[in-house]
Structure 1
């Protein structure tokens, strides 16, 4: 196996997203928020573009995806939780789906529990997928016979299938909130 791919997969396999209790418990300014979010999720991003920008944060507030900052310029633990989830989820879902899904989960179990559940599930998913290409964890792989040349196609098809299910579930949740089901 390609050594760079194996090293990277081990790094992703061991990713730890900060839980609610580990998020800053004080108000921070937007530039500090961006720096910390990049630190928390930077390992998971492959694109060369910025992970989070001031205008993205402004749009998320405008679109009511995150609460307005305290005293107009200060962000807290709630903002961090939403921004981490949004930054990751927008990689595979539309902004509308991300908003509806996050708001639904927060309403059902509360922001604190919803965020920690998100972190747990994201880390589990990363470990399952990374075990597919990580030789040292091959015993936990869901597909022990994958050829290295087939990894990109296999992961793309799994990503599409997972996105399809997630999008349908968000739509059903949205419909049930409106009383259409």
Structure 2
């Protein structure tokens, strides 16, 4: 196995998305929010473009994907939860699908539980996918039938995990070809 892919898969296997209780419990400004979101998901999304911008946040508010900020400039734990989920999910789903999926999960179990469930499922999908490409990594959870209400979330989590592996492998291959020339 390529050493870079092996090291990257081990890093991704150990990713921890902050749970609801770990998100900042104070109002922050947009630039602070962007910095923290990049810290939380930056290891997962290797993109030359910014993963979150002020205009993206403004659009998410306008499209009613996230609540409006407090006092027009302050963002809290609820905003962080939504923005982490949106940033990851938009990698594999349309914005409309992301919005509908988030609303469905939040209505089903409440924002707090839905967010923690999202984090659990995304971490499980990452661990499963990394174990498929790196024989050193083991995935010991039982994968049984999926409850119908959970299908979209579980499949989008797997789609994201598979997408980042495919993207990383292509990037490594491109670098290898450039090195051979």
Cα distance between partner residues in 1 of 2:52 and 2:92: 16
1:136 to partner: Cα distance: 1.0
1:137 to partner: Cα distance: 1.6
Say if 1:131 and 1:140, in contact at 8 Å, map to a contact too. Answer: no
Describe the superposition over 1:133-167 as per-residue Cα deviations: whole angstroms up to 9, x where unpaired.
112125759xxxxxxxxxxxxxxxx849x99xxxx
1:28-177 alignment runs, 5 A limit = 28-137=28-137, 159=159
Say if 2:24 and 2:76, in contact at 8 Å, map to a contact too. Answer: yes
Number of paired residues?
A: 147
- Seen in structure 2, the aligned counterparts of structure 1 residues 119 and 139 have a Cα distance that, compared at 3 Å, is closer
TM-score (norm 2): 0.77
Say if 1:105 and 1:114, in contact at 8 Å, map to a contact too. Answer: yes
Cα distance between partner residues in 2 of 1:2 and 1:44: 19
Describe the superposition over 1:113-135 as per-residue Cα deviations: whole angstroms up to 9, x where unpaired.
00000000000000000001112
SS at match of 2:49: coil
- Seen in structure 2, the aligned counterparts of structure 1 residues 139 and 16 have a Cα distance that, compared at 3 Å, is closer
Q: Does 1:22 align with 2:22?
A: yes
Cα distance between partner residues in 1 of 2:90 and 2:139: 31
Give 5+ residue unaligned stretches, structure 1.
142-157, 164-181
Q: Give the structure 1 partner of residue 4 of structure 2.
A: 4
SS at match of 1:86: helix
Cα distance between partner residues in 1 of 2:90 and 2:97: 9
Say if 1:19 and 1:116, in contact at 8 Å, map to a contact too. Answer: yes
TM-score (norm 1): 0.77
Cα distance between partner residues in 2 of 1:6 and 1:127: 13
Q: Give the structure 2 partner of residue 172 of structure 1.
A: none
Cα distance between partner residues in 2 of 1:58 and 1:2: 41
SS at match of 1:74: coil
Say if 1:17 and 1:40, in contact at 8 Å, map to a contact too. Answer: yes
